[in-house]
Amino acid sequence: MAELRKLYPAYDAYQTGYLDTGDGHQVYWELCGNPKGKPAVFIHGGPGGGIANYHRQLFDPECYHVMLFDQRGCGRSKPHASLENNTTWHLIDDIERLRNLMGVDSWLVFGGSWGTTLSLAYAQKHPSRVSELVLRGIFLLRTQELHWYYQDGASRFFPDKWERLISILSEEEREDVMEAYRKRLMSDDPEVQLKAARLWSLWEGETVTLLPSENADSFSEDKFALAFARIENHYFVNNGFMDNTQQLLDHIDLIRHVPAAIIHGRYDMVCQLQNAWDLAKAWPEAELHIVEGAGHSFDEAGILHQLIKATDKFAGK
């Protein structure tokens, strides 16, 4: 059996800054790799997750010139946990501004989880600006996907963790968990917000991997949890600000010509494999890689292997 590919060795960004959006946000960005290399942009998950240093390592620093950024309200972007002027379409405008700042005509777009949603939406709005797509853990923001994870689906596999999530809700509130959490995450009481944020975030932190991860507790750290929960819930109760729940599948013809790799863990409990299957059926030109023995997280061995193979392939290696 061939050795599984792993992250490239750690390397630093060579330039960082803030993009002033003109409507109240300062979006943190960084550039790394080879300034003469293949342009790429990394789009993180959540919404509200933010970037980490190890995300750079998904790209060969000799081959790629990579833009990474924290989406509005999370990570190092400011103001923290802000929901004002924070929609999918604001983020797409930010990505275009960052492409112009980088000075490239087109780039490879790499997204995971919510990052696949945003990558697809961006590509469909600006198809001439996308050279390739690498998509991990497909999330199409359909009603059934949100219902699966926040109402009646994943809870059957994690009843103990689900019981903790809904422990602060009344029986009536449990009929619509996302809406009940929205009220708490928008509360005027910071303690109510934070308690709900920790529970919301920990639910995801403990279900993203096939096997328990020692990193799960980091999801409930106060600063991360507040941005993650508030922004994620804000997007989800508003259906990602899409025109309809089938929008990303309905508009595949706009990007059918774009080379793409779709990578998804068979036992992904956050975003079911059915999502990737449906995307691949609508877009047979894309390569679908179903990873056995893997859940949702990008750093599960089989998923990481396919991601590195994809970025290497599109770099011409």
Q: Give the pLDDT band of residue 214 (cuts 50, 70, 90).
A: confident
End-to-end CA distance of the chain: 21
pLDDT of residue 310: 98
The pLDDT tens digits for 164-208 are 999 999 999 999 999 999 999 999 999 999 999 999 999 999 999
CB atoms within 10 A of CB 109: 29
Q: Give the pLDDT band of residue 220 (cuts 50, 70, 90).
A: confident
The DSSP secondary-structure symbol of 78 reads B
The pLDDT tens digits for 16-38 are 999 999 999 999 999 999 999 99
- Three-class secondary structure of residue 278 per DSSP: helix
Q: Give the pLDDT band of residue 288 (cuts 50, 70, 90).
A: very high
Mean predicted lDDT score pLDDT of the chain: 97
Put simply, whether the predicted model's pTM sits higher than 0.95 gets the answer yes
Give the pLDDT mean for 273-277: 98
Which amino acids are annotated catalytic?
113, 268, 296
Give the pLDDT mean for 204-214: 91
Q: Give the pLDDT band of residue 226 (cuts 50, 70, 90).
A: very high
- pLDDT at residue 1 is higher than 80: no
Which strands sit side by side in the sheet containing 130-136, from one edge to the other?
A: 13-20, 26-33, 64-69, 38-43, 107-112, 130-136, 260-265, 287-291
pLDDT of residue 217: 81
The pLDDT tens digits for 228-261 are 999 999 999 999 999 888 999 999 999 999 999 9
Q: For residues 1 and 261, which has the higher predicted lDDT (pLDDT)?
A: 261
